[in-house]
Amino acid sequence: MRILTIGAGGVGTAAAGIAARRDFFDRFVVADHDPARARAAANHDDRFVAERIDASSADQVTALCRKHAVTHVLNAVDPRFVMPVFEGALAAGAGYLDMAMSMSDASTGVRLGDAQFARQDAWSAAGGLALVGMGVEPGLSDVFARYAADHLFSTIDEIGIRDGGNLVVDGHPFAPSFSIWTTIEECLNPPVVYERDRGWFTTEPFSEPETFDFPAGIGPVECVNVEHEEVLLIPRWVDAGRVTFKYGLGKEFIDVLKTLRTLGLDRTQPVDVGGTMVSPRDLVAAVLPDPATLGDRMTGATCAGTLVSGLDKQGRPSTVYLYHVVDNRWSMTEYGSQAVVWQTAVNPVVALELLAAGAWSGTGVLGPEAFDAVPFLDLLTAYGSPWAMRTR
């Protein structure tokens, strides 16, 4: 296996560090628009190479794949660049993985991932596999949904992704632990909900608040509906009466996001500022600290999990929360990456190893739910980061 990772931010850097401890690949190319950042992320062993790339150019993606005989492209840049990286990998005959899917457009009814699923026939005809939504959420959360359907439940009434934590960044009252560009996109777009009888529909941002008690000492956190890929992915492969995604943001975080929207600072269209065209959202991202640099000032843990309710294999009512917790002190000590980016990065690396071994295989555009969950969960545990389950 020869891997091209596009993006040397927090997640791309963490993925390289995780992969460096494994032996399932021959070449790992790290490409970024900033050559210095790519070199820093690729500073491991002689299997690693740094390159410069413009992720908005499918042709550059294809050319870099051909230069290094790449077999698999890991997309670690923000959702704006999903389609050129996706198309560049297809043109090169390389497999593709991402952690966030093609963007939605509420004004036209385009949903997350629609542009990628529209290319299903092209990927199938080429005999290639695009494994979409293979981070932590989406990704591991979808693997949990598949595991629950196969091994824990006979009937599923509801699958609810619940994401929360107690991470605190010293000295920063507002410092998102993930890309603010992506955070704004997810949290301010209309959330999608799936119901078997209605299909997919949208609600208001931050709707249906509930307090969820997270494990591992995190405790109760208020969670609200947020637009996320799992709601679009899970119903394609797992039969469930309802699917939701709720994020534990907290009132202060929500208030800041609402203020950004009120001021128009969530917009991506550039505006004229003294003769210079500037995207308001890019400006917000520029003035906030880089999430990849926050680890040494961060304390607490992050939890990603899937809450499933229905009838168990014996026909009895059951509710199970399958989850994965990463403590920031552990991830910083062990890998030098803060908890959220490390938790995101480990999952595509595990998936790549399964693809290299042939434990996972397929053609077309597929989500994590399309594959057997057990090999993935076993290998995740072997990476030193076990998952857990709470039943009530």
Enter the tokens of residue 213: 């008690």
Q: What is the pLDDT of residue 173?
A: 67
| Domain assignment of residue 290, given as a range | 140-339
Domain end among 317, 339, 361: 339
Q: What is the pLDDT of residue 57?
A: 98
**Is 204 within 8 Å of 240 (Cβ atoms)?**
no
How many alpha carbons fall within 13 Å on the CB side of residue 324? Answer: 28
Enter the tokens of residue 141: 């959360």
Taking Cα atoms as reference points, which of 100, 139, 138, 91 lies closest to residue 119?
Answer: 91
Q: What is the pLDDT of residues 122-162, one digit of tens each?
A: 999 999 999 999 999 999 999 999 999 999 999 999 999 99
- Does one domain contain both 83 and 146? no
**With left for phi above 0 and alpha for psi between -120 and 50, is residue 42 left, alpha or beta?**
alpha
Q: What is the pLDDT of residues 24-61, one digit of tens each?
A: 999 999 999 999 999 999 999 999 999 999 999 999 99
Q: What is the phi/psi pair of residue 247, to 5°?
A: -115, 135
Q: What is the pLDDT of residue 8?
A: 97
Taking Cα atoms as reference points, which of 114, 110, 148, 303 lies closest to residue 213?
Answer: 303
- Please state, in angstroms and rounded to a whole number, the distance separating the CA atoms of residues 19 and 17: 6
What is the total count of domains within the chain?
2
Name every residue whose Cβ is closer than 8 Å to that of residue 382 and which is 6 or more positions away in sequence. none
pLDDT, averaged per 10 consecutive residues of the chain (392 residues), comes to 97 97 98 97 98 98 98 96 98 97 91 97 98 97 98 98 90 69 79 97 93 95 94 98 92 83 87 89 83 78 97 98 97 95 97 98 98 98 97 88
- Return the CATH number at 86: 3.40.50.720
> Which DSSP string corresponds to 356-388?
HHTSS---EEE-GGGS-HHHHHHHHHHTT---E
- Does one domain contain both 186 and 48? no
- Does one domain contain both 185 and 239? yes
100-109 b/e with 16+ CB inside 10 Å = b?
A: bbbbbeeeee
